[in-house]
Each structure stands twice: as C-alpha cells, then as structure tokens.
Structure 1
C-alpha cells in the first residue's frame, strides 16, 4: 500500500473524468459525507476500504458531488501479492475483449494495484475523445511506420477475428498444429523468417517484416512487410483508434515503396447481405478514394470457409451485386462485389492453414506488377464523421478545462490541455480544432494581460499615493508575479501575453521612482534647510522609505536598492551632522536650529538607519556640544566680571572662580552671599569687549532657540546660560550700586568723577536689551541713590549759603 504513487492515481482519475472544477469533488457513493479532493484523501478512503474488507479485490465507487450520481469512475484493485514489486503508475488501456461478444465495451484504466474504470450510466460525463490516448496510439503507429518505410508492404484489411495473425504465420511457413493455431493471437510462435516484430495495441496496426530469401521463393522481392490493421470504425473500436489509424496508418502507407491490399474475409463474419463486407468496403474507399482504378491490385482471401461453400462464393457475390442498389452511395460496394465475383469465378483463395502450402499465395501477393506503386498519391488521410463530432466536442471541453485550470492556478494542467490541442491539430488538421485553440489562446492571453495590467495599475497607484502602502498591497502584487512566473510554461502558447518579467521591471521602475523622490527630498533637506512645506516633506520622506522597506521585504531582489538608498542617507546624514557641529563653533545659532530640527525630523527614520547610524545619539551629542559651548562662553563672561571684584581681608582663603571649568551656579551663589566683602574695580576696555561678545552670543543663542521650538531641551539650556550670565551682570550692578553709595557717603564730592565712570560702564552694559531688562531695577536704584545724594548736597549747599551775611556790602 505504501509503495503506491497516489499522486499519479489522483491525476489519472482527474484526466479520466475530464477534470474537476473548484466547486466539485469526488465522494464515495456509500459514504457521501467523505470528500475526496486530492491524493491524500484518495489514499485515506482507499486505506479505510482496504482495512474493512477481507478479500483479494475491492471496488470503490465514486461520484461527482453535486450531481445525480454521475459515476465518473469506479476504483477497484487487482489481486496483490507480497512479492509484487511492480510500480503503481496508471495508464489508459484499450479493452482487448473481442467485439464479437455481446458484452458492452468499456474503456479501462489499469495499473498494478488500481484499476479505475468508467461505469456505464446514461448520465455519466466521459471524455468525448481521449486526445492523450489517441496521441499515444499514434506514436505507436510511428514504430510500425518506421519498419514499413521504403518497403514492399502486404496490407491486410479485415476486422478482428478474421484470423489475420494466423494467416501471417501460415504464409511464413511456421510449423503449426491445431493447438498452435489456437494459440496464435494469445502468444507468439517463433519462426526464423520473422525478421522482427513491431506490435502495437491490438486495435492498432502491426508491422511484421518477412525475409523472403529464407523461403526460397522465385519472386522479385527480397523481403516484404505484412501490415495488419484492424477495422477502422469509431463505433466498434473507439474514435481514438479510428483517428490514430486513419492518420497513422495512412501516413505509414504513404511512405512505402509499394502496397498490395489483401482483404481477409471470414465466412462466418460476412453477415446478412454481406453487411460486414459492405462496411469494410466503405472504409477502404475512405482510404483509397479512386478505388475503382486500383481494384486490380486487390486480393481477397477467405478464412473459415467450409469446403462445400467455396463453389458458392462467386454466385454469392454476383447475387449480392445484383440485389444492391445502383445509387451513388452503393457504387463502390458494387465495384468490390464485382471484383470479387470476377476473381473468384474459377478459384477462391481460402487456404487450409494446417494442410496447404503458402508458396502459391505468396507468389501471387509478391507480384510487384499488381501492387500500388505510388502509395503517397493513392492513400488519403480520413476521419469518420462520428470521430469528427467527438473531436469537436472534446476540443470544446479541452478549451473549458484549460480555462478552468488557468483560473485555479493549475498551469501545468492548462499547458497539458493546450499541448494536446496543438498535437491534435498538427495530426488531424481540422479547421474547428485550430479555431477553438486560437479562441482559447486569445481568452487566456486576455485574462493573463488583464491580471498583469490590473496588478501593475493598483500597485503603481499605491506607490504614487501620499499614504503608506500596506503589506497586503505588496503581497497581492507579489502573488500575481509568482502566479504569472509559474504560468511561464504557457508562454509557448500565449505568445502575445505580457511576460512576467514586465511585472518585475515595473517593480524596479517604481523602486527607482521612490529612490528619486527620496534623493530630491534629501538634497532639499540638507541643502536648503527647513521651509514652509517641511511637515509634508517629512511625512513623504518617511512614507517613501517605508514603501521601499515593504517592497524589499517581499522582493529580495530589491533589497540591494533599498540598502544602497539607506547607505546614501547615512552618508549624507553624517556629513550634515558634521556641518551642524561647525555651526556651534561659529555661533551660527539660527542655522544651527534649522539643522538640528532637520536632524530631529529624521528620527522616525531610525528603524531604517538602525544598522548604519543612531540618529538620536547624534542629535543628543550635538545638543550636549551646544550646551558645553555655551557654558564655556558664559564662563568667559563671568571670568571678566570676576576680575572686577577684589577679595576682602575676612575672606582671604576664598578665591573667585577662574577658568572655563568653574561651575556657573557656584559662581553666582558665591557672589550673592559674599559681594559685600569684595571691592569693585573698574571694568577695562578689553574686559568690556569680551563681556559684550559673550552677552551677544548668549542672547543670539537664546533668540535662535526661543520657544516655540521642537528642541525644548536646547531652548531651556540656552536660556539657563543666558540667565546665569545676566545674574552675574545684575550682581555686578548691585556691587556698583553699593560702591557708589559708599563712595558718596565717604568721599562725597570727591567721588563724583569716579561715580561718573561707573555709571558710564553701567550705561554701556545696558545697551543690550536683555541686560537692560535684567538690570533695570538695580540701575534705577543706583540712580535714585545718586539723586538722593544730590538732593542732600543741594540742601547742605543751601544751608551753607543761607549762613552767609547777605547784608554785608561785599
């Protein structure tokens, strides 16, 4: 059981019943709930049947589901033995049962273990014409044709059962007895003059070459070939045999050197009114249309003719000729009757296979002058009308099967059907076959092209759309590519169909479109910075890269293009990051913000660039670099302010922060709590210049990253650095205020010039708007103190002036 090839059995069953549509399946007649849809189901059902029965043979009766017990096949095994090592591949086999029996003829499907057979039913659907079987039979006639080529041929015409095989053994002088005669046809009798035997199916022709030199006959021929062909009748032997013989036999005869027709007639099979001979005459006329002009080459040999009936052959033919109508359809039959009557007037060729010598009959048959010398001109291909109808019906069915197979993706089956149509057309050359084939090819081509164009149209729209593409969209396109690639074997028939490579080419074109778009966007991002359409561009960039990723995930051949595009992004991204770093060093904060925001907007692309570069880390490093840079700048400004403060005697161990590495927050705290212990020195020109530059840099950075800004953390840090410096300047103003007050209190008028210098420095520092805003309160307090001092001074002056004696003459 395990040695069986169930896939072969299943395919043979499908071909036997003409295929199954998607809606159809086989089922066991006794267990209708059991579906058989593939080879595994067939094996399972058969195994269950095998296990339940204790016998050497089984039968599994199947039907097509959804139909009224349309028995397309019975499955029954033959006897099996443990030592059976034969294979299980099935093939079609013509029933070899003699049609002389009254039993109905069946087409059999045999193998070493399974024998599905067509059940007789008025409603069953069978093959109208088994093209595969006909082609197999036709191929076998080719074997016989090779033996007959350029040879002198004795053409034996007659139905099965007229003892043509026995006649051949008789003519080749086989040593025969009654038992041997009875065995001929069921076995083989060795004979040294039988050069080779080329046998085909019993319903096809047999070519038997004979070496005449071994027989010591005084004839002109050294060898002849006996060609045994059966009765060419589609009703009796099947349309497949009819067509195979009607085509194969005639082609073989057309390539012979000469042909001697020998009509073998069985007395028992002549029938009423010689109906058997009448039917044979009809077939002969189909083979040789101009039969009347070639009747001289015909020889008539009777078998099973009783001795007492020999003298009546002439009268039988004559009386039948007289009773036959003179209508045109009976003309050829009458001509053959007349020819037999004339040739059998004196002598009837009816040899006794056990007693007579074959020499005389051989000499007659080997008379080259009475042979057809130009068989290629005399013999004509023919197909009976019944066979033509069967072919036309089967061709239409083949066309529908090819369409159904194409629709269901069974391209191998579709090709098989089309191949068979081509082979059939090449051999029978019927206009209807070629037309139906062309119609089928056109229909399949249109469906192929529609499917390809539809897939391209939908896919291209998804690619061009501003919206993301779904994985299902790419998989749908991939499915069509795979399907049409699988169907490439049909291209030998569908030559006008779009090749599957065009879908692949379209795929690459769409990939190039996306890459071109991304390249343009990348150059725009990194060259021009942000613009009003940035949000749309960012979205499009991500969508395009996502589409590339989706496509390459389903189509490995696109992976290289995707990786190359991502690598290009990485290279350009690194270069852009370096350019951004330069903006920090050159204090180009407006440009820096644009570049940082551009980099930040690339963060959604991280999953594409993860194997090349970490965008988040690069952005973080740039932000930290900016923070360090601003701290350094702020430290320089605070260092200048630091130098203007003298340390007092009570705080000798506390030094001012000096250098970029000092913490700004510590510096602010230190000055806030100890400013009263320090003396304020005048800010020199150099220090004032440095402090002004520092203020401008920090203000510029603050303005560049002022909210709203996507870089919230950067905005926060720049503000912190500016606020730290402004706090230091504010403290400087506070110390200046205290110094002015102390100077006015101690030195009074003598300090006015120095106070004026201090105020001048404060005014210069307040030229920057942010410094002015920050020190406004402290500055006004200083002004109030000076004004208060001036008022007191004026009051003292008034008192002094009023103390003078205004009455003095001086």
Structure 2
C-alpha cells in the first residue's frame, strides 16, 4: 500500500546493483525485473519480453502485474515511466530487498565508528516528524521557508537550510518536503556547544536516525533497529529526543500511543529511562494547548479496558514535562532560538551503559513483510 514511498530511493539502489549480483540470482521474476532496471539505468533500454511468462511460472501474475506488463509495451521509449512501473512490480514480487538491507546495515556499522565512546543525543520518531530539520535548527543552521513544486502548479511549504551551511558536516542532513524519509541510516553531527550557548564548553553530538513507521520501508526499519542498537551499545551514554508532529499525532491522537509503543520497545525498562527522554512537538501552532490535549489522550486511553503500563508511563511523563513549559517543547525552527532546548538537553540525565539498555524493536509492517519473503 506504500510501494511508491517505500521505494523512493530505488534509483539509488538500482545503480548499486551489478551484473555480477544479477547473475548470482536464480532465474526468477526478481532477476528479470532487476535486469530490466539495470539496462534502463545504464543503457536507456530494456527487454521485458520474458517477464510475463516468468510471472506465470511463479504464479505471480496478479492484477497489478498484468497492468504493468501492458503499460510496459506502450512506454518502450519512456525510461522514467518504465522504471517506475518495474519498481512497483519489484516491490510486489520481492517484499524485502536483502541487498538493500545489508547495504543499510553496513552504512550503520560505518556510522557506529563515529559515535564509539561518545555521549550522543539520539532523535527518534516517525517519518515526517521533522527529526533532520530539528537537528539542523539545534545545530545553529539558518533555516528558511520555501515553496517546493512537486507537480506543475502544485507546491507545498518546505523548510530547508540556507547556504552557506554553518558546518560542512550538515550537508548530508537532507530534509524532505513530502513526508518521506531522506535519512536511511544513522548520521551523527558534533558541534561546539559555545556556538549555541555563548560561554559554554565542550561539544554536543546529535544523531539523526531513519524514521520509524511503514513509510520508511522494511529495509530501513531492519537496518535502523538492528544496526542502531549495535551502534548505541558502543556509545558512552545516550540521551533521547522523541519527536511528534501535529500531522503525525493523528485525528484520534493515535500518533502519541504509536510513539509510546516505539519507545517502550526500544527501551524495555522504560520507566527507569524516562529522565533520559525529552519530547519535541513539531508543526504545531504556538498557542496549541499541548498539555490539555495530552491529558485528553490519557483520559480516553484510561477509559479503555486494557491500558499498556509502558504507554501510560510515557504519556504521564509527557504531561509532567510539558506542563507550564509548552513553549519550550513546541519548537518552531523558523522563529525560535535553539539555546533553551539545547540547555535542556545538556541538563538531561543520560542513559549510561547503553549496551544493556536498548532492545531491537521492529514494526508491525516490517514483521508482515518478513513473513511474506
């Protein structure tokens, strides 16, 4: 149901697929599609003549597959359309991209070397919550609001960092205007605290991570959990910033309970870890009654027959920390100063011995994808 978002990085993945890799795959629909994608990327041509018979042989000729086969016959000169059609079909015949998963795990392992022995601040939350934008803001980047045209005559507002960047290390931090995950694996950025708080000493290391939730894709979810937990184990200490956006909160505030479940799975002993968690609420109006909404969510949740103790503890912690301090946690990266929130992070209690604190937490969508594989 989220194929186009899930494979938004497919062009990048196609370029990494080599003929040697394709040759190593047994005769299958996956191999045929990958060969077509390789030819499109490198030769601007493709031959899908054997694809239909291969799909029939594997009993994979679904209604979507039939539509793709028909459309490929009419777009032999339109490589972009052909590639997009093949990517959709590939997502159906191969729910989980093992090669992409391994690539992302390897990149996470590389990043773990950069945070080994460090005291880091880890940003977690669903895709589109604004983790990367918030890190840029807290790092002192000058942010501007632009209009991103995603189709002729159609645009959406998009916050982006203004050039020249304050630190070259900011360059890989890319924001997306369309609520899709640009961050595919963890990325740390370390800055001098004095650049944010005059007179302060030392550095602070912010760690961007891929978004949770089904839009990120199973490959990212697996790499982000397995690789992330292993990377965090090598840190000296970890502080958590949990992001929730206005849109992500949902009409029934289900986003709050979703992020609470994520935290409780990532940190099994969640109640003792609450002092190490801060919350950041993004894309809200400055006069939004945040604490009142959180209390409403808690009341609704407590009226149910079964209440998850971990979720209840996190929700109570949100209410406690935001009460009478809403302006601190309702961040507006265009108008606010990062100084107060960075000071809050410096004062926050860290999770020490992270090698025993974190647990692998894979989402429901990813579990379902693995079962299909």
SS in 2 for 1:299: strand
**Distance in 1 between residues matched to 2:342 and 2:250, nearest whole Å:** 28
Residue 384 of structure 1: how far off its partner (Å)? 4.1
Question: 1:127 maps to which residue?
Answer: 94
Q: Between Structure 1 and Structure 2, how many residues are aligned? A: 324
- Are the aligned partners of 1:194 and 1:211 in contact in 2 as well (CA < 8 Å)? no
Residue 37 of structure 1: how far off its partner (Å)? 12
SS in 1 for 2:93: coil
**Distance in 2 between residues matched to 1:302 and 1:337, nearest whole Å:** 13
**Distance in 2 between residues matched to 1:78 and 1:228, nearest whole Å:** 40
Deviations 1:526-571 (A, max 9, x none): xxxxxxxxxxxxxxxxxxxxxxxxxxxxxxxxxxxxxxxxxxxxxx
Residue 142 of structure 1: how far off its partner (Å)? 1.8
Question: 1:366 maps to which residue?
Answer: 346
Question: 1:314 maps to which residue?
Answer: 291
Deviations 1:292-327 (A, max 9, x none): 111122111122211221xx2111111211221466
**Distance in 1 between residues matched to 2:344 and 2:367, nearest whole Å:** 38
Residue 389 of structure 1: how far off its partner (Å)? 5.5
- Structure 2 counterparts to residues 219-298 of structure 1, below 5 A: 219=200, 222-233=202-213, 235-298=214-277
Question: 2:27 maps to which residue?
Answer: 20
Does the alignment pair 1:191 with 2:198? no
Does the alignment pair 1:117 with 2:98? no
Question: 1:324 maps to which residue?
Answer: 301
- Structure 2 counterparts to residues 427-466 of structure 1, below 5 A: none
**Distance in 1 between residues matched to 2:266 and 2:35, nearest whole Å:** 45
**Distance in 2 between residues matched to 1:345 and 1:244, nearest whole Å:** 36
Residue 248 of structure 1: how far off its partner (Å)? 0.7
Residue 359 of structure 1: how far off its partner (Å)? 0.9
Does the alignment pair 1:64 with 2:50? no
Residue 266 of structure 1: how far off its partner (Å)? 1.2
Question: 1:150 maps to which residue?
Answer: 117
**Distance in 1 between residues matched to 2:267 and 2:30, nearest whole Å:** 48
Pick the aligned partner of 1:202 from 183, 193, 207.
Answer: 183
Pick the aligned partner of 1:350 from 330, 338, 350.
Answer: 330
SS in 1 for 2:352: coil
Q: CA RMSD in A?
A: 4.1
Residue 215 of structure 1: how far off its partner (Å)? 3.7
SS in 2 for 1:370: coil
SS in 2 for 1:178: strand
SS in 1 for 2:242: strand
Larger Rg: 1
Does the alignment pair 1:136 with 2:103? yes
Question: 2:13 maps to which residue?
Answer: none
SS in 2 for 1:307: coil
Residue 188 of structure 1: how far off its partner (Å)? 7.1
**Distance in 1 between residues matched to 2:34 and 2:335, nearest whole Å:** 60
CA 1:281 to 1:159, structure 2 compared with 1: closer, same or farther past 3 Å? same
- Structure 2 counterparts to residues 289-688 of structure 1, below 5 A: 289-309=268-288, 312-325=289-302, 330-348=308-326, 349-367=329-347, 369-384=348-363, 387-388=366-367, 390-391=369-370, 394=373
Deviations 1:12-64 (A, max 9, x none): 6678xx7426xx999xxxxxxxxx89989x98xx99x96xxxxxxx8957323
SS in 2 for 1:321: helix
SS in 2 for 1:150: coil
- Are the aligned partners of 1:194 and 1:210 in contact in 2 as well (CA < 8 Å)? no
Relative contact order higher in (CA < 8 Å, ≥ 6 apart): 2
Residue 125 of structure 1: how far off its partner (Å)? 6.0
Gaps of 5+ in 1: 1-7, 27-35, 51-57, 81-109, 395-810
- Are the aligned partners of 1:209 and 1:226 in contact in 2 as well (CA < 8 Å)? yes
CA 1:386 to 1:183, structure 2 compared with 1: closer, same or farther past 3 Å? closer
Deviations 1:158-200 (A, max 9, x none): 2222222222222122233334996656x77443346566669
Higher strand share: 2
- Are the aligned partners of 1:259 and 1:371 in contact in 2 as well (CA < 8 Å)? yes
Residue 353 of structure 1: how far off its partner (Å)? 2.0
CA 1:246 to 1:152, structure 2 compared with 1: closer, same or farther past 3 Å? same
**Distance in 1 between residues matched to 2:171 and 2:109, nearest whole Å:** 14
SS in 1 for 2:335: coil
CA 1:115 to 1:335, structure 2 compared with 1: closer, same or farther past 3 Å? same
Residue 291 of structure 1: how far off its partner (Å)? 0.8
Deviations 1:421-474 (A, max 9, x none): xxxxxxxxxxxxxxxxxxxxxxxxxxxxxxxxxxxxxxxxxxxxxxxxxxxxxx
SS in 2 for 1:208: strand
Deviations 1:340-389 (A, max 9, x none): 1111110111233222221111111122x522122122111233465455
**Distance in 2 between residues matched to 1:289 and 1:320, nearest whole Å:** 23
SS in 1 for 2:126: coil
TM-score normalized by the length of structure 1: 0.35
Pick the aligned partner of 2:127 from 147, 152, 160.
Answer: 160
Deviations 1:762-795 (A, max 9, x none): xxxxxxxxxxxxxxxxxxxxxxxxxxxxxxxxxx
**Distance in 1 between residues matched to 2:320 and 2:309, nearest whole Å:** 16
